[in-house]
Amino acid sequence: MPGSKLLSSYSQIIKNMNAKALNLSPMLETKDMQATLKFYTEVLRFKCDTFSEEWGWAHFSKDEISIMFSKPNEERNIPEPIMSGSLYIEVDDVDSVWDDLKYAGNICYPIENFEYGMREFGMFDNNGYLLQFGEVINKNIPVDED
């Protein structure tokens, strides 16, 4: 299996990874910080906790989640911000979020129930990142043990 040699060498080097993980806060790039500030504070109603024009960096939070944005890193030489996945935001009332956002942006897919026990929808932010909003509707979905 590709990477198995690398993984086995890590396990030989790293003996104790006992530090408690406290938070995961994505750091994404934006070419237009002002539009990102507007989208996340006015459309999604996040709070801008910290913003530095000089650093080209902003930190946003809402309830228990947070996200950071920065200007593109010149050393990486990536012409457009990219992300191959999405940001999945679990909420306690996805229908009200849908009602608030369905006309506010670029919808990827409308709200629907999925066989894996979630009711969700997806939209793109001003940078083109996919944001998915979901609520658990069936906690009794069996997990494959294979």
DSSP E strand boundaries for the chain:
27-29, 47-52, 57-62, 65-70, 87-90, 106-113, 118-124, 130-136
Q: What would the mean pLDDT of 86-113 be, rounded to a whole number?
A: 95
Kindly state the percentage of the chain with pLDDT values over 70: 84
- The CATH class, in words, for 83-139 is alpha beta
**For the domain 24-72, what is the CATH code?**
3.10.180.10
14 against 139, higher pLDDT: 139
pLDDT-derived band at 142, boundaries 50, 70, 90: low
Return the pLDDT at 14: 60
Q: Over the chain, what is the mean pLDDT?
A: 87
Return the pLDDT at 15: 63
Q: Could you state, in order of their start, the residue ranges of all structural domains in the chain?
A: 24-72, 83-139
Return the pLDDT at 118: 94
Kindly state the percentage of the chain with pLDDT values over 90: 66
pLDDT digits (tens, 9 = 90+) for 48-96: 999 999 999 999 999 999 999 999 877 777 777 778 899 999 999 999 9
Note every long-range contact of 136-140, with CB atoms under 8 Å and residues 24 or more positions apart, other chains counting.
136/90, 137/113
Equal fold, 24-72 vs 83-139: yes
**Residue 143 one-letter amino acid:** V
- Please say if the pLDDT value at position 144 is more than 70: no
pLDDT digits (tens, 9 = 90+) for 1-54: 555 555 556 665 666 667 888 888 999 999 999 999 999 999 999 999 999 999
